[in-house]
Structure 1
Amino acid sequence: MTKRERFEKFLANEPVDRVPVAFFHHFTTEQEWLTGLKDEAAFEKNIEGHRTARAKFDPDVIKIMNDTLMIMPVDTSFVKTPADLRKIQPPMPGSAFFEKSKELTKRVVAIYEGSDAPIYITAFSPCIILRNSISGMDIGTEVAHSKLYSFLEEDPDSVMAALDIIADSVNALNKMLLTECGAEAVYLSVNIQAHYVPDEFYAKYIAPSDKKVLAAANELSRFNMLHICGYHGKSNNLELFKDYDVPVFNWAVHAEGVGLAEGKKLFGGKPVCGGFAQAETIYTGTREEITAEVCKYLDEAGQVGVMLGADCTVPTDIDDERLEWVRQAAIQYAATPRVKL
């Protein structure tokens, strides 16, 4: 099968010649994240990292890593009360952020010319964007989110209004990148990692903006993916996301303690992606250990509607040859007769 044919079969929960493999990593340091509007060197490094990586591992699934433009900038410096959130003005078409995002996406798509692999853009939920704007990139601790939590307790309607405003901007950005830049689908990162608000708050006040973004994305593409981010082992409540209307689910198998087979049931039998821990065997294991882990995951979940990947981005300095080891192990697994006991 070609990469496209294999992915189409995966998406349709149909048998494949071997499971597709989808690992992603950043191309810049954390200090360079979000600096693309002011640091041209970091912006170029972000783009060129894709070229270097492709030379070593031509991926089954392409995800444009927008490290230096990763989270949409929203000015909340004037926000003193929850009601002030209603006045935020996220970037919109024609802004420097939109134009720079368009440049990055088009240039990375050109790097993958000749590949028939599906191309994802990376997007973040309105809540992650709002949290970053008021608390910075420390997105995994209760302290970082205490301000958002207090705003929700005091005036949830104003927080919801702000999330809705941001959702409109995210939708406009996604539409531009998918209709003008050659990308094909949205990889949407959401989370309630570290449980920064109570579950009932997330379901009532935050989830609607996630779903608004997904609804708009689903009008543009039929293979969007939900990434329930468990970055560096931070857990989520997967139950909060099981009714999200999205074709493919990815979550932190190891952080959540929910394997691929169990997760596939939780998410209504839809295709799933994952398996490997973020920085364990895939990063430090021998080829034999990686092969054994591939067999373990596929023994558990089967090869239909399953794509091998990781809990989140693998380390930036990973040897991309390791990703080829996973692919070769998947090929070997598919070619080896399995005996059911």
Structure 2
Amino acid sequence: MPMSKRERLEKTIAGEPTDRVPIALWRHWPGDDQRPADLAEATVAFQRRWDFDFVKVTPSSSYCISDYGVQDKWAGHIEGTREYVRRAVTRSLDWTDLRVLDPSKGALGRQIETLRLLNDTFGNETPFIMTIFSPLAQAKNIAGRELLIEHMRTSPDRLKTGLNTITESTLRFVEAIRRSGVAGIFYAIQHASLTVMSETEYGTFGRPYDMQILEALPESWWLNMVHLHGAAPMFELIADYPVQALNWHDREAEPDLANGKLKFKGAVSGGIGRWDPMHVGTPVEVRAQARKAIEETGARRLILSTGCVIMTTTPQSNIRAARETVESPV
């Protein structure tokens, strides 16, 4: 008898045998990510089509910061991400003007409504996890990439004031979704990469705020995943984070899945390149890479996925190839 999605995932996280390797892919929903009913409908339709082992809820990255005064627009990027057209911080003093957000109002309140709608559909049958951006990732979108790094190095105390405010807003949102039915969070880290900053800098401006949030997660949330973005991830700095799964660009950056498993105690999520072969390759190439990931990990502690979101234009045949591989990996 097939395992339930939760049982399959929990045994995978624990390194125990399962009936098959779990799989999940996720993407952005441009335009539809601006309204709860539309985002929920798009998310549900995608899951009904592919029956993944969990659902990552993917709102636009601005959902957590638009109430600070940030504005963005959909400009057609195939990744599904939006373009920022107005920042809330243009000078270092602006970090001290940020105020803690009320999670029941504005864009945060709309995301709570999205989760309510998803819970009405998924219930206990399909685990779903909410995307939470790290405070430093939120700060990047509030000020812009270059200005954030400039303020980090020229006005560190002011930036820390802003990060404290963002962290408190995030903690309040986490508390607000405690009873929403989520199985956990997808915690997106974008700056723990040596191409962006040093480990010392991330240890000062990233990790302390990450830990505040991750240590505050409810014990009942059993599927919390960290996404480690970037071409040179600070894997060792993140590997002890208190989460059940870790996702990174394993086909584009070190470590590979096998070595990642040696450094992280939970499940590793990845194995398929989101661009090549998932987007530009063939179903045969997708199956080959997926099978290689299963072989490399011994089909233990692996959640088959891409290292980040798939493109909005990813061929259906390639998604099908990945999904079918876990049913017939040989």
Contact 2:171 2:213 in 1 (8 A): yes
Q: RMSD between aligned alpha carbons?
A: 2.4
Point out where structure 2 has 5 or more consecutive residues left out of the alignment: 71-86
What are the within-5 Å matches in structure 2 for residues 80-99 of structure 1?
Answer: 81-99=91-109
Encode CA deviations 1:303-330: one digit per residue, 9 max, x unaligned: 1111100110001133445434323212
- Aligned counterparts of 2:217 and 2:7: Cα–Cα separation in 1: 22
Alignment partner of 1:202 is 2:188: no
Say which of 117, 120, 133 aligns to 1:110.
120
State whether residues 62 and 141 of structure 2, in contact with CA within 8 Å, keep that contact through their aligned partners in structure 1.
Answer: no
State the partner residue of 2:304.
308
CA displacement 1:213-267 (0-9 Å, x = unmatched): 111125452321101123xxx4433233123222211111123132111111122
| TM-score under structure 1 length normalisation | 0.82
Change (3 A) 1:2 1:44: closer
1:200 deviation in Å?
A: 1.2
CA distance in 1, matches of 2:237, 2:69: 29
Match of 2:289 among 276, 289, 293: 293
1:93 positional shift: 2.9
What is the one-letter code of the residue matched to 1:119? F
Task: Please tell me the residue identity of whatever aligns with 1:315.
Answer: M
Q: Which residue in the other structure is 2:111 paired with?
A: 101
- Is the contact between residue 64 and residue 108 of structure 2 (CA under 8 Å) also seen in structure 1? no
Shift in CA distance, 80/276, structure 1 to aligned 2, threshold 3 Å: closer
Letter of the structure 1 residue corresponding to residue 18 of structure 2? V
Answer whether contact 2:283 2:317 (CA < 8 A) is retained. no
Q: Secondary structure at the match of 1:256?
A: coil
1:266 aligned residue: 263
Residue correspondence of structure 1 range 1-341 to structure 2 within 5 A = 1-28=3-30, 32=31, 36=34, 44-67=37-60, 70-73=63-66, 74-75=68-69, 79=89, 81-113=91-123, 116-135=125-144, 144-145=145-146, 147-179=147-179, 181-192=180-191, 193=193, 195-219=195-219, 221-230=221-230, 234-267=231-264, 269-320=265-316, 322-333=318-329
Name the CA shift for 1:246/1:78 in 2 (closer, same or farther; >3 Å): closer
In the TM superposition, what is the alpha-carbon distance from 1:204 to its structure 2 partner? Answer: 1.7
Structure number with the higher helix fraction is 1
Range with bigger deviation, 247-256 or 60-69: 60-69
Alpha carbons 2:92, 2:159 under 8 Å: kept: yes
What CA distance in whole angstroms lies between the structure 2 residues aligned with 1:238 and 1:194?
10
Shift of 1:108: 2.6
Summarize the Cα distance change of 1:84–1:44 in structure 2 as closer, same or farther, 3 Å threshold.
same
Q: Which amino acid aligns with 1:226?
A: V
CA change 1:305–1:79 in 2 (3 A) is closer
Deviation at 1:33, TM superposition (A): 8.4
Indicate the SS of the match to 1:275: strand
TM-score, structure 2 as length reference: 0.85
C-alpha separation between the residues in 2 aligned to 1:81 and 1:33? 33
Contact 1:178/1:184 (CA < 8 Å) preserved in 2?
A: no
> Aligned with 1:273: secondary structure?
strand
Unaligned segments of structure 1, at least 5 residues: 136-143, 337-341
In the aligned structure 2, how far is the partner of 1:78 from the partner of 1:118? 35
- Tell me the percent identity: 24
Pair 1:83–1:206, CA change in 2 (3 A) = farther
| Distance across 2 between alignment mates of 1:205 and 1:13 | 33
